[in-house]
Amino acid sequence: MAEHRKKRFQTRNEVNVNGDHHQTELNYDMRRREMLNHEMSYLTAYRERLLKNCEAAQKKKAEKEKPLRERIAEWHNNQSLADRQRTYTMNELVQQFRRPPSVIGPVLHDLGWQRTRVWGKGGPYRRSWKVPA
C-alpha cells in the first residue's frame, strides 16, 4: 500500500484520547470535506477565469471577422472632422487594420476613396487615400 494511503488509513482508524473511534472518523470526514470544498472553490475560480478568457477571445475573433469594409467605415465615422478630411498613407491604413495593401486598396476603392501617389525625389512613391468631399 502506498505510504500516503497508509497514513490516511492510520489517521482515519486512530482512536482519540477518550477511546472514541467514531469521533476520529467524524474529524477525518470534516477535514476531507473542507479539503474538497477548497479544491472545488479553486476549480470554480479556474473555470470562471477560463470562461472569461474564452469570451474575450471570441469577442476579439468576432471583431476581427467583421468585414473589413464595415471596420473601415466605422473607423472613419469615429474620426474627428479634421481627421476625416485628411489624406491617409497606405502605411497608416495597414497599421490600423493589420491587412496587406492588396486587401485594403480594393475595399477603399469600393467605399469611394480616391487614391493618389506622392512621388519622392528619385525614390519610391507613397500611396495615399482620401475620402471624396
Q: Which residue has 473511534 as its cell numbers?
A: 21
Whether residue 88 contacts residue 108, with contact meaning beta carbons closer than 8 Å, is answered with no
Q: How many domains does the chain have?
A: 2
Residue 70 and residue 121 share a domain:
yes
53 plus 102 within the same structural domain: no
Query: Do 57 and 74 fall into the same domain?
Result: no
pLDDT tens digits, 41-83: 877 888 888 888 888 888 887 776 788 898 898 899 898 888 8
Note whether 46 and 91 are same-domain residues. no
126 beta partners: 118
Q: Which amino acid is at 2?
A: A
First and final C-alpha spacing in the chain: 84
52 and 73 fall within a common domain: no
Write out pLDDT tens, residues 12-26.
Answer: 455 555 555 555 666
Residue with cell 491587412: 99
Give the pLDDT confidence score for residue 57 in this predicted structure.
85
> Which single residue is written with the C-alpha cell 477535514?
31
pLDDT bucket at 95, cuts 50 / 70 / 90: very high
> Do 57 and 70 belong to one domain?
no
Asked if residue 42 and residue 14 are part of one domain, the reply reads: yes
**Residue span of the structural domain in which 45 resides:** 3-64
Tell me if 130 sits within 8 A of 87, measured CB to CB: yes
Question: Mean pLDDT over residues 107-113, rounded?
Answer: 91
90-97 helix and 68-77 helix, angle to the nearest 10 degrees: 110
